[in-house]
């Protein structure tokens, strides 16, 4: 699978224009989390190619290493919605949703077109295109995450507007009600007409809401215990998850205990980490490109990882092959996303930066964002785009 992912705070025509408003300090630890999670998503899908090719142990271990990514994205979305960048009005909420839905629709269409041209999964383009309005489709199966992510952002945004802003967001509330009632309505249509609509995928499991709220609390809180203790807990949790997936169930449910333990251990380990000054521009750039990377990476996984896994004979070199091909797919995906962020394509292919500066977080703690403690941002990073590290999406 944030910001979910994960752009920024200046008009697309002026992507590097400094923001003149007083904004929050950029959370480089959130940027780092977003980059790690995006790379982990690539690893998970690369691992699936190795499992399909018969390299089960290698694939399951690779999947284990990246299993935390989707829940952590939900946690970052919760932090952004409730603490880091709560919406100020309904228009901003709907604009945020549009910045996700627009490239999501474009990339769904592109993956369907590729499937049609190559005869790959989901080649029945017309039927699949109709199903994509209801939920994820085989040709773009990795976008299932956004079918939960969008209603989650809508739910949290409506809560913020009603509770904190004391406003009635009529359009957003109507859309939220429509999402909630659609499954029952589909059942009624089936009973009355005999036509079975596709399964409704725009829904938010309770475990996802818990990840968002608990993750927001953990990311907004002061440092909770020594980082080394969190890291040790993460190592134990990853070991337990690997054993679970190898012996009990694969893939492990995102709402299960094993994945939850890894997720919160990773959050506790990375939250508040200080990113070195010299690394901040790179981390920020990759974080901004993470949503585009998420959208495009499946193409590179299918082009690079699948053929290698399919031709690789059994042997001890499978883990090395997985590592090399996953890194290559991730690097190419990030590169493509960074490159198409330069021209005017980002509105449709990646996601454009939001306009205007950000509001100051009510939960910002000194030293939590990896900053120097000074209000002056690093050149070319926080001051230019104060909203990027708290924006929505993977």
Q: How far is C-alpha 148 from the chain's CA centre?
A: 11
Q: Report the alpha-carbon distance of residue 126 to residue 121 in Å, rounded.
A: 13
Q: What is the mean pLDDT of the chain?
A: 82
Q: Which of 334, 326, 295 is nearest to 144 (CA)?
A: 295
**Residue 215 in this model has a pLDDT that exceeds 50:** yes
**Residue 82 in this model has a pLDDT that exceeds 70:** yes
Select the more confidently predicted residue: 38 or 137. Answer: 38
**Residue 28 in this model has a pLDDT that exceeds 80:** yes
pLDDT > 90 in the chain, percent: 64
Span 239-264, mean pLDDT? 97
Q: What is the pLDDT of residue 234?
A: 98
What is the residue extent of each domain of the chain?
28-390
Q: Report the alpha-carbon distance of residue 180 to residue 187 in Å, rounded.
A: 13
Least confident of 205-214, 336-345, 348-357, 378-387: 378-387
Q: Taking the CA atoms of 52, 260, 262 and 7 in sequence, report the sign of the dihedral they define.
A: positive
Give how far Cα 326 sits from Cα of 67, 227, 292, 302, Å.
15, 28, 17, 11
Span 28-53, mean pLDDT? 97
10 Å Cβ neighbour count for 110? 16
pLDDT band at 35 (very low <50, low <70, confident <90, very high): very high
Span 229-249, mean pLDDT? 97
Q: What is the pLDDT of residue 361?
A: 35
Q: What is the pLDDT of residue 130?
A: 86
- What is the DSSP secondary structure assignment for residue 390, as one 8-state letter? G
Tell me the whole-structure pTM to 2 decimals.
Answer: 0.81
Q: Report the alpha-carbon distance of residue 17 to residue 2 in Å, rounded.
A: 23
Backbone angles phi, psi at 368, to 5 degrees: -75, -25
Q: What is the pLDDT of residue 351?
A: 58
Q: What is the pLDDT of residue 21?
A: 33
Tokens 């924006």 belong to residue:
391
pLDDT tens by residue, 306-359: 999 999 987 789 999 999 999 999 999 999 998 876 655 656 665 554 443 333
Q: In terms of DSSP H, where are the helices of 202-311?
A: 206-220, 227-247, 257-270, 280-288, 290-300, 306-311
Give how far Cα 229 sits from Cα of 18, 67, 174, 221, 224, Å.
39, 21, 45, 17, 10
Q: What is the pLDDT of residue 348?
A: 60
Q: What is the pLDDT of residue 117?
A: 83
Least confident of 114-118, 177-181, 250-254, 316-320: 114-118
Q: What is the pLDDT of residue 144?
A: 92
Q: Report the alpha-carbon distance of residue 359 to residue 87 in Å, rounded.
A: 9
Q: What is the pLDDT of residue 125?
A: 65
């Amino acid at each position: 699978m944030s910001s979910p992912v994960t752009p920024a705070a200046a008009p697309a025509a002026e992507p590097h224009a400094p923001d003149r408003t007083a904004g929050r300090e950029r959370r480089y630890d959130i940027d780092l989390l977003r980059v790690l999670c995006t790379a982990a998503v690539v690893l998970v899908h690369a691992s699936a190619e190795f499992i399909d090719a018969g390299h089960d142990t290698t694939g399951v271990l690779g999947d284990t290493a990246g299993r935390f990514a989707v829940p952590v994205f939900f946690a970052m979305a919760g932090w952004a919605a409730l603490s880091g960048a709560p919406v100020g009005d309904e228009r901003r909420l709907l604009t945020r949703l549009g910045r996700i839905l627009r490239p999501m629709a474009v990339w769904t269409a592109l993956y369907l077109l590729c499937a049609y041209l190559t005869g790959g999964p989901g080649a029945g383009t017309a039927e699949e295109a109709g199903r994509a309005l209801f939920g994820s489709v085989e040709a773009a199966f990795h976008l299932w995450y956004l079918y939960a992510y969008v209603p989650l952002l809508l739910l949290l945004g409506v809560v913020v507007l009603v509770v904190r802003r004391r406003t009635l967001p009529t359009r957003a509330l109507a859309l939220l009600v429509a999402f909630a009632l659609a499954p029952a309505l589909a059942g009624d249509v089936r009973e009355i007409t005999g036509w079975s609509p596709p399964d409704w995928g725009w829904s938010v499991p309770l475990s996802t809401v818990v990840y968002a709220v608990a993750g927001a609390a953990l990311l907004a809180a002061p440092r909770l215990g020594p980082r080394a203790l969190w890291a040790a807990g993460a190592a134990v949790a990853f070991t337990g998850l690997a054993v679970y997936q190898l012996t009990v169930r694969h893939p492990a449910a995102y709402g299960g205990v094993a994945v939850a333990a890894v997720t919160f251990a990773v959050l506790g380990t990375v939250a508040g980490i200080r990113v070195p000054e010299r690394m901040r521009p790179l981390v920020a750039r990759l974080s901004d490109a993470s949503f585009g990377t998420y959208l495009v990476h499946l193409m590179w996984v299918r082009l690079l990882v699948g053929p290698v896994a399919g031709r690789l004979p059994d042997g001890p070199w499978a883990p090395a092959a997985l590592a090399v091909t996953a890194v290559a797919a991730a690097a190419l995906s990030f590169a493509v996303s960074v490159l198409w962020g330069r021209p005017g394509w980002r509105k449709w292919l990646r996601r454009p930066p939001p306009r205007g500066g950000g509001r100051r977080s009510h939960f910002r703690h000194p030293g939590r964002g990896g900053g120097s403690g000074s209000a002056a941002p690093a050149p070319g990073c926080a001051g230019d785009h104060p909203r990027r590290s708290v924006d929505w999406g993977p």
